[in-house]
Amino acid sequence: MYTLTPKQEKKWFARFQGVTKKWVAGLEAKGLPAKETVLTYNKAAEAAGVTCVAFPLEWKE
């Protein structure tokens, strides 16, 4: 097991968030409510005390 430094975490989490944004953009282009789905998922995760690192921080409400 390897523990990431805070700097490494920030870098990896930003990459995960970029993947989420790209995935959402592709599905939204097809008329699917992908961003709404990700927002709903993140709210449920937070309610359960879980942090979804792939959730783009700029989408926080």
- Rounded to whole angstroms, how far apart are CA atoms 11 and 36? 25
pLDDT of residue 61: 76
pLDDT of residue 1: 86
In a domain, 58, yes or no: no
In a domain, 40, yes or no: yes
In a domain, 7, yes or no: no
Going residue by residue through the chain (61 aa), what tens digit of pLDDT does each one get? Answer: 889 999 999 999 999 999 999 999 999 999 999 999 999 999 999 999 999 999 999 998 7
pLDDT of residue 2: 87
Tokens of 12: 């990896």
Q: In the chain, how many domains are there? A: 1
In a domain, 59, yes or no: no
Q: Give residue for tokens 């961003």.
A: 35
Q: For 45, list phi and psi in degrees, rounded to 5.
A: -65, -45
Domain that holds residue 46: 16-51
